[in-house]
Amino acid sequence: MNQFDENNSYETYYTPYEEPEKPKKQKSGFTGKVFRCIALALVFGLVAGTSFSGTSYFFEQYVSVGEEKGEEKSGADLNIAQSTEKFVTDNMSDKENNAGETGAVTDVSSIVDMAMPSIVSITTISTTTVRSFFGHTQEYESEGCGSGIIISQDEENLYIATNNHVVAGANTLSVIFSDNSLVTAKVKGTDPNSDLAVVSVKLSDIDAGTKEKIRTATFGESSQTKVGQAAIAIGNALGYGQSVTKGVISAVDREVTVQDESTGSAVTNTLLQTDAAINPGNSGGALLNIRGEVIGINSVKYSETSVEGMGYAIPADAAIPIIKQLITREVVRGSDSAYFGASGVDMTEEVAKTYNMPMGVYIAQVVEGSGADKAGIVQGDIITKFDGRNITAQEDIEKLMQYMSAGTTVEVGYKRAVNGEYEEFTVEVTLGKKN
């Protein structure tokens, strides 16, 4: 033991060890054993009772807290379940798409069953002219195939959306519904620059049984589509009838430039890319999300044949406004006809590359006081869009304007050279009255 003394020095004290006195042995007997047993029993009982009381108190406290925590946990679980249920209800597309990406959702038969009655097969008969080596020409008929999507109907007709290149040049047109019934159809309207078209079928030509089985498609918001989400393509692949392929959205807002078969001009459109197999005959068919909503119109025209897994579809958000116009528009004649007030020359792909200028319509003349003049369009501007459509030729503007009446306001996109570089502008033009 160490102590600190008054002189700030340590003194060490040692306590000598004293051996404890050994207890004296007592004689053992029966009575002593009995008393010892009774004493041990009393001590054991006292210790056990105390331990049991303490344990009971602790257990009651623990269970009480545990029950309270359990109630909180159950409440939390319930909230989570409710939130999950709400999430599934409000965002089923994202949840199921994610599940599909991880392989959890592999059976899309219910989606196909729901969507198939709104998809049709389209067959066309066209006349093709072939010039021989000696200069002779010969005409022969060729059959084409494609797909379509039932989008709406009125009192007389059923309307089907498809690709322009499916129906371009067709002499006759037939539609085959999901129950294999065939009816004759006709082209209602086309828009080559967006590769969209609408064909119509008279309701009176459709059997009552077929009318009960077919349905209009449900369109989704393609702008909400994300890369990696599941995609299902349905169409008349190779003309064999409707078939289904499944993949994912590979890219969105993919700019693809192709050559228009009828005019030879190049057209650039913004498309959805998917690795779902899109083969010849799928053109005009549906690209669906996991909810069975149409998010795109397949266009094999934009597919690269030299690679695998690169199919393209026209986004639904871009297609719907054009399709509606193709259905409802009528040619405006007489004094109500619209007048733009600007004319120009076509900037073909070859000319544009030669002079390092954008493709479109180069404005050569603007009529003073016209709608184009009032909107600020001047000579040298290059028109690239008109009423939301891509423009590659003066003819494109004229075709669109034949369906517009005087006083209509359209959005016009053009490019103008600023400090040696072309910048993009957009203006609203109120069309005047054609003399």
> What is the amino acid identity at position 14?
Y
- What ranges in 170-248 are assigned the alpha helix state H? 208-213
Beta strands in 348-405 (DSSP E): 360-366, 382-386, 389-390
Max Cα distance, the chain (Å): 143
Sign, Cα dihedral of 424, 428, 434, 435: negative
The two three-digit tokens of residue 433, written as one number = 């009255």
- Give bridge partners of residue 120 from the DSSP assignment: 148
Alpha-carbon separation of residue 292 from 110, 233, 260, 287, 298 (angstroms) = 9, 10, 31, 9, 15
Is 136 noted as a catalytic residue in this protein? no
User: Is 165 assigned a catalytic role?
Assistant: yes
Sequence-ordered list of residues with C-beta below 8 angstroms from that of 367, at least 6 positions apart, any chain: 341, 342, 373
DSSP state of 203: G
Which one of 265, 283, 299, 337 is the catalytic residue? 283
CB 297 within 8 A of CB 314: yes
The answer to whether 401 and 434 have CB atoms below 8 angstroms apart is: no
Of 93, 118, 165, 250, the catalytic one is 165
Q: How many CB atoms lie within 10 A of CB 242?
A: 20
Q: Give the three-state DSSP class for 193.
A: helix
> Of these residues, 195, 260, 387, 396, which one is catalytic?
195
Query: DSSP strand E in 92-242: where?
Result: 119-131, 137-153, 157-162, 170-176, 182-184, 186-191, 196-202, 230-235
Going 403 to 408 to 413 to 415, the CA torsion angle's sign is positive
Looking at residue 425, its amino acid is: F
> Are the CB atoms for 390 and 269 separated by under 8 Å?
yes
What amino acid positions are annotated as catalytic residues?
165, 195, 283
